Homo-oligomer: A and B are copies of this chain.
Amino acid sequence: MARISVAQRRSDFIDAAVEVIAIHGIDGATTRRIAEQAQANVAMLHYCYDSKEDLFADVYEFVAGRYRDVVKDSDPHSNLVDTACQLLRGVMEFYVESTTFTAAALELISWARRQHGDRGIAVFDQALETVRAVLRSATSEHPVEPETIDQIAYVIGTLSDGFALNWLTYGDRSAATEQMEVAASVLESWLAVRLGSTPVAL
């Protein structure tokens, strides 16, 4: 049997936890199930992590980081409208690609709300703030009002979250593809109206 380093094992456990959370929910994500998913033993989990809570802290960090990367790595355009549309598309495509990640993220958000903990809100916050940052950097030449950035970020978030919920519920890939187009056109129409009346330079 291959011997695996603790570092690698930790990473495996994090992946496994995401998978299990997506399938069984937070409350169904037991140490046994996570260990099984990671093809390890329950004792191994406690060899790598002092407690389940320690593992979950890493899971949180992983999810937030992954999300941030997706937003950051969507190739930016010089103008605001294209950047926003590309951002929305990038996030939605990521959701379709990584269903388990998306489902796990939703579970974590729900769970955090119930516990009124700040950790779930942190994931949400971080994602929105990263979106804002990307939008801002796209308008560095012609700054727009912060309120406008906030609104655009909110609309991108809303459209992508709504999309995710639908995709997770139905799991219909071809429908999702069409819905991505609709969502993109919705954003585009609104941006035209929203930014059209106010010149970019203002």
Q: In the bound complex, what is the Cα–Cα distance between A161 and B109 (angstroms)?
A: 14
**A71 at the binding interface (Cβ < 8 Å):** no
Q: In the bound complex, what is the Cα–Cα distance between A168 and B111 (angstroms)?
A: 11
Chain B residues with Cβ below 8 Å from A165 are 109, 158, 161-162, 165
Interface-located stretch among A3-11, A23-31, A37-45: A23-31
The count of residues in chain A whose C-beta lies closer than 8 Å to any C-beta of chain B is 44
Chain B residues with Cβ below 8 Å from A170 are 121, 124
Centre residue among A159, A163, A189 by max chain B CB count within 10 A = A189
Chain B residues with Cβ below 8 Å from A193 are 185, 189, 192
Q: In the bound complex, what is the Cα–Cα distance between A82 and B185 (angstroms)?
A: 20
Main secondary structure of the interface of A (DSSP, over half): helix
A169 and B23 contact, Cβ closer than 8 Å, known pairs A154-B179, A162-B157? no
Q: In the bound complex, what is the Cα–Cα distance between A73 and B110 (angstroms)?
A: 29
**A155 at the binding interface (Cβ < 8 Å):** yes
Residue interface mask A172-202, B partner, CB < 8 A = 1: 0000000100110111011011100000000
Chain B residues with Cβ below 8 Å from A121 are 169-170
- 5 closest cross-chain pairs (CB), A and B: A158-B162, A27-B27, A162-B162, A161-B162, A189-B193
Q: Give residues in A with beta carbon < 8 Å to B.
A: 23-28, 103, 106-107, 109-114, 120-121, 124, 151, 154-155, 157-163, 165-166, 168-170, 179, 182-183, 185-187, 189-190, 192-194
Beta-carbon nearest neighbor of A121 in chain B: B169
Q: In the bound complex, what is the Cα–Cα distance between A83 and B108 (angstroms)?
A: 35
Interface pairs (18), CB distance under 8 Å = A25-B26, A25-B111, A107-B110, A109-B165, A109-B169, A112-B169, A113-B169, A124-B166, A124-B170, A158-B163, A161-B165, A162-B162, A185-B194, A186-B187, A186-B190, A189-B190, A189-B192, A190-B190
Selected from B24, B161, B182, B186, the residue in CB contact (under 8 A) with A161 is B161
